[in-house]
Structure 1
Amino acid sequence: MTNDAWLSRWDEGRIGFNLESPHTGLTDYWSALALARHTRVLVPLCGKSVDMRWLAHQGHPVVGVELAQAALLQFTQGSDDDVEHVSRDGFKGIRQSGVEILCGDFFQFRRDHGGSFGAFYDRAALIALPPARRQRYAFHLAQLLPPGAVGLLITLEKTGEAIKHGPPFHVSRKELEHLFDANFERTWLGEFTAIDGEREDIWQLVRKGPVDDEIQVQR
């Protein structure tokens, strides 16, 4: 999906991908990552996902990156807690209830914008992107995470004619190998049936490379 198409969806209210409660894949499998409560979590293409509030309630400082300004406004309407406005080198955003959301293009987001992350969560980022942009996404995500950082990735497997359509897009296991295995250790954790009847797979990804002391403490 292009940036313009994504913004159009928000402008037109076509955001059925948002859930009113935390995703089952998150609540059932997050503990498998064995993260310390204070571990900072990156959420790419986060929208207004309530998953971020769930992560914050587990004790994680959460940083989401989202292109649509409307998503930030709608996120803050989900709580009566105070809202703080933040600015990080061209990215402006909000902070509420342990969640910081920066508004801008994820592909322009750098480590110095968000600091060091020990974890990430992707429920609807990879599957929102067409094939031509998924390789760039996987590489950019790897650049933002230090060795040892761990993440939870949820993908969608479609069947029949549905494979040709999206978002959300079908992402096969073979494509995941091509996208991530050069930079991440990937482990399948489980699967379940999504609302539309398609299969969702839950993956643990660990950034490859020598682990420094900082990440060892966070994990």
Structure 2
Amino acid sequence: MSDQWRKRWQEGRIGFHLQQTHPALQRHWGSLGVTDRTKVLVPLCGKSLDMRWLADQGHPVLGIEFAPEAIEQFLAQRSTPVSRYRQAGFTISRQGNVELWCGDFFHLHIQHAAEIGAFYDRASLIALPPATRQRYAFHLAQLVPPGAKGLLISLAHDEGDAGPPYSVTADELDNLFSANFALTFLEEGSPDERGYIESVWALERRGPRL
């Protein structure tokens, strides 16, 4: 799976990348009530401009991305100095308020995420095949503390398991997350030219860490 995405970045087949901040992030982030300076985890972050927006709101951002090409393209967007170091098997690049960890999301452990208090998932869940989505939901629950809030933007379409992007329905989201998170449906977009429909959800981590 990681090799497939690495090849997409190398070949520039990144139609999923938005050239602007996602409007739903701008509309709904404030309603979550995430306190100022809370560190935000962004799994499978690519070179998303959403991380710049979150940082501009005063949040430290920790993005996880497997493809170094994506990280280098993100850093090149600005001339701000970059510091680089290695930790826990990850190559880490820090630019301003954004910290990018290059490596496998599933290798990130609680001790590395001790300061994280919120999260943002746009298009990471829909990049994963069905068997891996369950693992993703469980791992995310291990990384964020009780009470942590996040925004999740998902995608559904009529092509079944064809993907990526894979179709993730509301029922599947409930099955994946309801054991560890309270889910609140926020909005659903109109179908795009491919028939893809985005949905936006607020999540809050329940109870103690497992």
TM-score when normalising by structure 1? 0.91
Structure 1: segments with no counterpart, 5+ residues:
212-219
Using CA pairs below 8 Å that are at least 6 residues apart, which structure has the higher relative contact order? 1
2:117 is matched with which residue? 118
Partner of 1:93: 92
- 1:88–1:113 contact (8 Å) kept in structure 2: no
8 Å contact kept, 2:149–2:203: yes
Runs of 4+ aligned residues of structure 1 deviating over 6 Å after TM superposition are none
Q: Which residue of 2 aligns with 1:78?
A: 77
Count of aligned pairs: 208
Is there any run of 5+ residues in structure 2 with no aligned partner, and where?
none
1:217 maps to none
Assess, with a 3 A threshold, how the Cα gap between structure 1 residues 139 and 83 changes in structure 2: closer, same or farther.
Answer: same
User: Which is further off, 189-198 or 146-155?
Assistant: 189-198
CA shift, 1:210, in A, is: 5.3
- Aligned pair partner of 2:162 in 162, 165, 171: 165
- The offset of 1:193, in angstroms, is 2.9
State the identity as a percent.
53
Contact 2:90/2:102, CA 8 A, preserved across alignment: yes
Query: Normalization by structure 2: what TM-score?
Result: 0.94
* C-alpha distance in 2 between matches for 1:10 and 1:210: 37
Distance in structure 2 (CA, Å) of the matches to 1:70 and 1:26: 24
Contact preservation (8 Å) 2:94, 2:100: yes
**Residue 197 of structure 2 aligns with which residue?**
199
Q: Please say which of residues 187-196 and 66-75 is displaced more in the overlay.
A: 187-196
1:1-219 matched pairs, under 5 angstroms = 2-159=1-158, 162-193=159-190, 195-196=192-193, 197-209=195-207
Report deviation, 1:115: 2.5
For residues 87 and 113 of structure 2, the distance between their equivalents in structure 1, rounded to whole angstroms, comes to 8
C-alpha contact 1:72 1:93 (8 A) present in aligned 2: no
Quote the Cα distance in structure 2 between the aligned partners of 1:151 and 1:118.
9
Letter in 1 for 2:89: G
Q: Deviations over 1:119-178 (max 9, x none)?
A: 00000110110111100000000000110001100011213xx33421111101111111
